[in-house]
């Protein structure tokens, strides 16, 4: 692993070879900067924020520009922000520092994840699906830790269903050993877009 020192006190950890999707995401974060900057923290996270501990370590998986991670930092959590897009992470670092928080951001490919067992108090995974993360999320949450998961769902009306979309019921099956606080599958209107999309949501606690 190489470490890249930024002009700021923080740094972004860099892997040797860029992920094949990294260029596409870097391009999106460069050309759609207003869209990503204006995205608010997730309604789901805000609605269930009473479940957050006063302090602890949170993983923001596929964090993008950090709208949700910043929300967790403001709630007192230490946030580890991981993504393949260096462009998104650079902006995340600026946003954290502007708000007075020390960022911990790394370029990290979640298609081949490893995390220590029972390390995180909170894991959030928004608008991203990589099935290899499921067992790692299960093992790396501390007992009593909370998972917030929200991403797109395959639907019968999809002309070209993506493998990056969940099957109906899949999220619930994957975390069936957890105590389910909320599970839902519903049609939503995307913020800033005209289209409607099916999403699945799960808020669940790892048993003690
Ligand atoms: C739709 S964005 C969601 C960003 C953020 N979670 C949010 O809700 O604002 C999907 C993110 O997944 C990241 N991503 C795609 N493939 C990845 C991978 N293999 N490992 C880590 N991050 C990845 C992209 O760079 C992008 O930031």
What pLDDT score was predicted for residue 41? 97
Average pLDDT over the chain reads 90
107 in contact with ligand 1, CB cutoff 6 A = no
The domain locations on the chain are 41-205
* CA-closest residue to ligand 1 atom 3: 127
DSSP-derived secondary structure letter, 48: T
What mean pLDDT comes out for the span 82-99? 97
pTM (2 decimals)? 0.91
CA 121 to chain centre: 14
Structure tokens at 99: 């708000």
Q: Is 110 in the pocket of ligand 1 (CB under 6 A)?
A: yes
Give me the pLDDT at residue 20, please: 83
Span 90-108, mean pLDDT? 97
Alpha-carbon distances of 44 from 65, 91, 125, 182, 200, rounded to whole Å: 18, 23, 11, 10, 11
Q: Give the pLDDT confidence of 153-166 residue by residue, as tens digits.
A: 998 666 666 788 99
> Greater confidence, 14 or 33?
33
Do 2 and 12 form a contact (C-beta atoms < 8 A)?
no
Q: What are phi and psi of 93, to 5 degrees?
A: -60, -45
Distance 128 CA to ligand 1 centre (A): 6
Per-residue pLDDT for 171 more than 90? yes
Whether 140 has a pLDDT exceeding 60, the answer reads yes
| Region of poorest pLDDT, from 13-22, 52-61, 80-89 | 13-22
How many whole angstroms from 83 Cα to the centroid of ligand 1? 6
For range 132-143, the mean pLDDT: 98
Instruction: Please indicate whether residue 95, judged by its CB atom, sits closer than 6 Å to ligand 1.
Output: no
Class of CATH domain 41-205: alpha beta
pLDDT at 131 over 70: yes
Residue carrying the six token digits 């994840």: 113
38 lines ligand 1 (CB under 6 A): no
- The residue written with tokens 């949501």 in the block is 201
pLDDT at site 163 = 80
- Confirm or reject: Cβ of 152 under 6 Å from ligand 1: no
Ligand 1 atom with the shortest distance to the CA of 124: 6
């Amino acid at each position: 692993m190489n470490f890249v020192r930024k002009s700021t006190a923080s740094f972004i950890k860099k892997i040797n070879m860029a992920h094949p999707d990294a260029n596409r995401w870097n391009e999106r974060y460069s050309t759609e900067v207003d869209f990503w900057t204006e995205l608010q923290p997730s309604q789901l996270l805000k609605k269930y924020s009473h479940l957050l501990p006063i302090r602890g370590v949170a993983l923001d998986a596929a964090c993008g520009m950090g709208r949700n991670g910043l929300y967790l930092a403001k709630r007192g959590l230490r946030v580890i922000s991981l993504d393949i897009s260096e462009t998104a992470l650079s902006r995340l670092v600026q946003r954290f520092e502007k708000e007075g928080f020390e960022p911990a951001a790394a370029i990290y490919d979640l298609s081949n994840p490893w995390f220590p067992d029972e390390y995180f108090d909170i894991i959030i995974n928004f608008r991203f699906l990589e099935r290899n993360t499921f067992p790692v999320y299960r093992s790396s949450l501390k007992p009593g830790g909370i998972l917030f998961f929200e991403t797109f769902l395959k639907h019968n009306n999809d002309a070209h269903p993506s493998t990056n979309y969940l099957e109906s019921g899949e999220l619930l099956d994957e975390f069936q050993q957890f105590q389910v606080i909320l599970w839902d599958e519903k049609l939503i209107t995307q913020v800033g877009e005209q289209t409607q999309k099916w999403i699945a949501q799960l808020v669940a606690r790892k048993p003690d």
